[in-house]
Structure formats: C-alpha cells, structure tokens
Amino acid sequence: MNVYIHPFGFILMRVSISALLYLLIHSLFVKEKIVDKKDHYKFIICSIFGVGANMLLFFKGLANTVPINGAVLMTCTPIFVVVVAAIYGTEKLSWNKLLGVLVATTGATLLIAGPDLKFSSETAAGDVMITINAIIYSFYLVYSRPLMSKYNPITVSKWTFLYGSIFVLPFGFMEISEVKWEQIPTQIWLYIAFIIIASSFVTYLLNAWSLRHGSSSLVGSYIYLQPVLTTLLAEMGGEDKMTVEKAGYTLLIFAGVFLVNYKLYKKKTV
C-alpha cells in the first residue's frame, strides 16, 4: 500500500473481487434463493458493519497509529462481542466469559506489545478509529448469526460482499483509478492474490461457517490465536525467539479461550 495502491483503493479491490468469487461459487454450487426479501436489508447492515465500515476504519486507523497499538486494540473485539451479545439478548453474560476475555486480552496484550505499548495524542485518532472498528465488527458477529443459521454461509457471504463493494466504491474509486497496473511486479501481485483469496474470501467464509455452528463469543474469542500464531511463524522463520515470558503469555491466551468456551466443553464431556 501507498507504493503501488492506496488503502481505500486496495479495499475496493479486495472486496469487489471477493464478491465476484462468492458470486461464482454460489451460482455453480449453492444456487440458494432468499426466502424473505426483508433479509436483504439485514445483508446490507452486515455489509456495512462487517465489510465496509469495518475495513475502511481499520486501514485508516492503522495509517494514523503504530502497528502495536492496532494489534492490541483489535484484541478487544471478543470483549465487545460478549457485551453486544448480552445487550442484544442472544447470549447470557456469564462469569466465565468475562473472566476468559480479560485473561486472554491480558495475555495477548503482553505477547504483542510487552513494554512497547504507548498511547499518545499523536496516535489518538488512529486508536479511536481502530477501537470503533472493533466495536463495529463485534456487532457484525452478533447480528449476522441468525442469517448464518437461516442460509448457507456462501449465500450470506455473497450478499454481504456484493453490498459491501457498493458501499466502499465511493471511497476507493479515485484511488484505484490512479493505480499504474503495469508497474506492479509479480511478487506484489502474489501478495495481493494471497490477501484477497486467503485473508478475505476464505477467512470470511470460514467465519460465516463458524457462526452457523457456534456462538458469537466463541467465534470472537479465537482472534486471540492471531498473536500466538504470529509468534510461532516468526520463530519458524528465524525472525523472533520464543522465550519463557512469551510461553507464559501464550498459556494465558489459551486459558482465556478455554474459560470463554467452558460450558461448551462441559456439555461435550457430560
């Protein structure tokens, strides 16, 4: 970004291409129709909260803060999911969920930032945008779950991204029209392809499938695995080292996720 394509142009690119991929897969294998026309309004809301505003705020926020702050603030998403689900009345607010998200958030914060976490007036605007983004995405995880139970995950993803591409079009049109496509090298095209296919198309589809089979707080809690996997991949690539402290922070994260899902584990063992 900012070298070959600007953030909003890149968002338009990843959302619109993902929408076309969902449309193709849906037309070939699913072919499910919307049984209630009012559900289209719900898809529009999902597209705003889950795709459009979510991505725009995150990318704009990241440009106005430091990466560590952005990563740490995004780990607040499961906390917001638990609170929103309780307010929305879809899930009960239990002690194990509250304790679990607090324990996992502590572990994730320490694993990501350590002593380097700094909030200041210089990063305030970006920090606020990313926090709002986390709240918005939390609402999406809660609001979209009934649709996941009603329709195939590919159907939900198709309509969410189709409407999402319309939402982000005014923001990204100018930036994407300025891209000099012939100057983009093959390596960058491979990066773009990975982000669109793996980080957008596959990730949102798996999220949709997960929401069909699990609660919003369950799906949200697994965001804590991101810093753990990042640390492990960095270790494998020789870019970082696993220390006793990092191992301890990782255990905190797993303990927190276990507490969030405690009743689910308990039901399976009974």
Predicted TM-score (pTM) of the model is 0.85
38-48 pLDDT per residue, tens: 999 999 999 99
What is the C-alpha separation between 196 and 15, in angstroms, rounded?
8
Tokens describing residue 158: 């198709």
DSSP secondary structure letter of residue 65: S
119-171 pLDDT per residue, tens: 778 888 888 999 899 999 999 999 999 999 999 999 999 999 999 999 999 99
Handedness of CA 29, 30, 33, 38 (dihedral sign): negative
Residue 215's nearest CA partner among 157, 163, 262 is 262
What is the C-alpha separation between 217 and 85, in angstroms, rounded?
8
212-247 pLDDT per residue, tens: 888 888 788 888 787 788 777 777 877 667 788 888
Q: Supply the mean pLDDT for the chain.
A: 87
Residue 199's nearest CA partner among 45, 11, 3 is 11
pLDDT recorded at residue 70:
81
* Contact partners, residue 216, CB within 8 Å, separation at least 6: 81, 84, 85, 90, 91, 141, 142, 145
